[in-house]
Structure 1
Amino acid sequence: MDKKYSMVLFCAVLALGFSACKKNEARITVKEPDPVIGATPGSSLNYDFTLGVNLNEQADAADMNDLADTKTKWVRSFIDFIPVYKAQSAATDPKIAAFIALKSKGYHTVLNLKFDFRLQGGFPALNSSDWNGYISYISTVLDRVMPYTDVLIVGNEPFIEANQSDWNEPLNTFYKAASARVYDYFKTNNIDKPIFLGAFDNMYLSGRTGNAAINSLLNFAKSTIYLKGVDVHIHHTTNTEMLNSLKYVGERIRDDQKMMITEFSLVKYYESYATTDIDAAFIAAANASTSDRIYPPPAGVTKNYQYIDYALKNPRPAAEWYAFWQYSPYLQGAKDYICTSYENLKNNGKVFAGFYALRQSYPFNTDFTETTDPWVMNGLFMNRTVEQVDGRNQKGYSFLDQFQKAVQGQNPCQ
């Protein structure tokens, strides 16, 4: 074999080998790093149980004297993300500014990022400009709030703030992407603060616990190492429902994860009595009163919801509001709600913090009807249904007293 032929043969073999390598290389699939693998931010935080105050999105409306009187050092709020994104107003939004100011007042702060897609008519298309814009703008919001935020929660009430047809997809994909964006931001900026996901609401209902989309997002939370836990909202009728919610969710997170209860209330319990008659004992007490400012309701106000509407439009003396609670068996039966809830949450072992409403949020000149959700019955302070005294809002019937004891290490049930 001459040298020329040998060289040609060698080149042909080499070319064939190179071609085979290229073909094999084309068949190789490069797996991107799994976005759920990584350290867990916030591991150094003290997770001893505590009670905090829930301001929702209204840090700008909260009375700071009322907040100080609660004795807590923990405050929770949320950002209504989509309007802020559309206005590109993270740097100027007054509600965000009010939340940020809480840190300078000495509070530990918890913030939910709320994405209300139901109000938008649904989610944007996957990878559309709006979809990518929302995910990208998370970093802009975090630039603004994270120096003043101790715990960040991805979501507020995903399954309330989305049409049920979207619960599986695109909801699951969106919240996974939003969580990954937050984690990437934390890694890039060396932020060692916990990330939670949620909130999971009404988890005592079979329509929630049996829903595959909800359980899929719970499974994501459990399998995602960088998530410290989940947020749970418990608005219920019975104590058993609260316990069932805690049990169901608690059994579906890791041993090293926690639950946060950033909202809890008996709103559905109060709602169940809205159309019942005002108790005769309250009317009798009001008619018997001569000097303590307990007045009977006007003619035509005969139902519980009607009395609440009357009080919202004509704030009552504190003594009258307290008498309404004392002499209404359904309200008197709920007077130890903070005490009972404190025991439920603390004894669970997996709950990091529970947050209760500070105030009554209800618009002026608006009817309170038989179908209105009675959130106004929940607050620690009665800033709408009760007259101020010396410019100060008055406390609720029993809740503030129990709350103060709990956060100061005393037994709220005594």
Structure 2
Amino acid sequence: MRHESSARTDTSVTPSLARPASRRRLLGVSGAALLTAACSATGKQPSGKGSKQPDPTGSHAPTGEAPDGALGVNFNEDPSDMDFAEMKALSAKWVRGFVPMTDDLDQQTATQQRAVARLLDASGNGFSTILSMKFPFQTHAQPLPKAGSTEMETQLKRVDRVLDAVMGKTDILTIGNEPFLETRKDERDARLNVFYEYVAEHVIAYRSRKFPQGCKTRLYMGALNHLDRKEARTQATERWVAFVNRKPEIEGLDIHPHVDSLQAAGQYVQYVVSRLDKGKKFLATEFSLVLLWQKHMGDTIPAAYAEKYKVSPNTRVWQVIGNAIKKPFPQERWDDFLTMSPWFASNKDCLTQQVQMFRETGKLAVATYGMVQIESMQTGWGPDKMPWIINPLYANRTVREENGKTGRTTVWFDSFHGLQDS
């Protein structure tokens, strides 16, 4: 979120591989049960059926095996603390980041952008990679460029610089990061669709022109937000899915279910799965219960924690995290803080359950989860700061290194590692 082919052009993917049920049902409520609950609430079932897919011919289909149910890590815009050895410790094979499509690309080559450089490095080290192209019009209060305009030409030149660097090297390129949040509120309608469809057609044409015999890089549209909220399910989001369905060159779409409950995550999944045509997949390159964590930042700390660590029982959750940022905790203390907190302990299985939910649809391509605590997560820490810092697998900014080992959020680390075996 914020932390701030001669064969065919069909993008259908291989059938879902069977996975051992024992691992997938080890902890808590199953993903299928959560998704069923979401469908019951909306009255729709996740059939994955839609209009009949065309049978395209041509020579531009992606090469290699399509991903199915993979779980990797995400660094968003900041790969500074990402370490390949730590990825291997997690058994992670996929990594995702995003590149802002800003005027930095007018002054530098794409390979000078941190995310692009790091993903190319990861690819060279045997990891599979996902790059999202972020168009931050909301941040810069800029209107969406119109087709044929000078502003559009500027955007497409930036796109081409990125494509020159990554097409054929990254495994997945996602067109857009969070378009509905990164566009001005007054333009989150058909104008948004027109812009992103225009960019997507440009990317498709580029891949066809540069790689007439097929290309490693698969294309997705990304990423839809707040689909658990009625107000976010608009004609523009419906058109977004419809565009994905009618373009054989686009394999699917991305979602970012940052929510306050697993049931809300189920509503996200139900929305896309019930609308995506057969053969289309989804990514979940960001997901968490950060909105639930946010609700508890003002809670007083657990009495057991206060007693064990001689802390005032009136201390608030956000203050404990702030103390850990200022002077990183021993591993045991960070683990105790989280596992003694009811709001966290009652959701200790959420990573497992969310991934189960994604996989049980049979339509997940790749999900990626936050790997490390990046600098922006701690900058300006206070009671109103969104607590992204709780999410990552490695607690590298709140837990001190011990015996040469980077701090971690043990619950997430163990869950993630276990999901690689399922």
TM bucket (normalised to shorter chain) is: 0.7 to 0.9
1:256 maps to which residue?
A: 279
Cα offset for 1:395?
A: 1.8
- Maintained 8 Å contact 1:42/1:228: no
2:126 maps to which residue?
A: 106
Alignment of structure 1 residues 88-127 onto 2, 5 Å: 88-126=108-146, 127=148
The alignment of Structure 1 onto Structure 2 pairs a total of residues equal to 362
- Maintained 8 Å contact 1:41/1:228: no
Question: Residue deviations 1:199-218, cap 9 Å, x none?
Answer: 01111111111x22222222
- Secondary structure of 1:136's match? helix
1:206 maps to which residue?
A: 230
Cα offset for 1:312?
A: 0.9
Select which of 356, 372, 378 maps to 1:359. Answer: 372
Select which of 218, 241, 259 maps to 1:194. Answer: 218
Cα offset for 1:221?
A: 1.6
- Maintained 8 Å contact 1:60/1:99: no
Q: Which amino acid aligns with 2:132?
A: N
2:264 maps to which residue?
A: 241
Higher RCO, Cα 8 Å, sep 6+: 2
Question: Residue deviations 1:143-185, cap 9 Å, x none?
Answer: 1112420111100000011111111143211100110111011
Give the 3 Å change call, closer, same or farther, for CA 203–109 of structure 1 in structure 2: same
Cα offset for 1:76?
A: 0.9
Cα offset for 1:136?
A: 3.1
Give the 3 Å change call, closer, same or farther, for CA 301–90 of structure 1 in structure 2: farther
Cα offset for 1:363?
A: 4.4
- Secondary structure of 1:355's match? strand
Question: Residue deviations 1:355-411, cap 9 Å, x none?
Answer: 1000112349844222111000001010011111134312213111111111133xx
Select which of 44, 63, 86 maps to 2:106. Answer: 86
1:377 aligns with 2:377: no
Q: Which amino acid aligns with 2:296?
A: Y
Give the 3 Å change call, closer, same or farther, for CA 59–38 of structure 1 in structure 2: farther
1:70 maps to which residue?
A: 90
1:182 maps to which residue?
A: 203
- Secondary structure of 1:109's match? strand
- Secondary structure of 2:167's match? helix
CA distance in 2, matches of 1:296, 1:143: 57
CA distance in 1, matches of 2:183, 2:57: 29
2:14 maps to which residue?
A: none
5+ residue gaps, structure 1, are 1-36, 287-294, 410-414
Give the structure-2-normalised TM-score: 0.81
- Secondary structure of 2:285's match? strand
Let me know the Cα RMSD of the aligned residues. Answer: 2.0
CA distance in 2, matches of 1:47, 1:93: 26
Give the 3 Å change call, closer, same or farther, for CA 132–170 of structure 1 in structure 2: farther
- Maintained 8 Å contact 2:78/2:114: no
Q: Which runs of 4+ in 1 moved over 6 A?
A: none
Cα offset for 1:38?
A: 6.8
Select which of 399, 415, 421 maps to 1:386. Answer: 399
CA distance in 1, matches of 2:156, 2:220: 17
2:346 maps to which residue?
A: 333
5+ residue gaps, structure 2, are 1-55
CA distance in 1, matches of 2:278, 2:292: 32
Select which of 62, 72, 89 maps to 1:42. Answer: 62
- Kindly name which structure, 1 or 2, has the bigger radius of gyration based on alpha carbons: 1
Cα offset for 1:45?
A: 2.5
CA distance in 1, matches of 2:314, 2:105: 45
Give the 3 Å change call, closer, same or farther, for CA 406–91 of structure 1 in structure 2: closer
CA distance in 2, matches of 1:109, 1:219: 26
Select which of 67, 74, 77 maps to 1:57. Answer: 77
Give the structure-1-normalised TM-score: 0.83
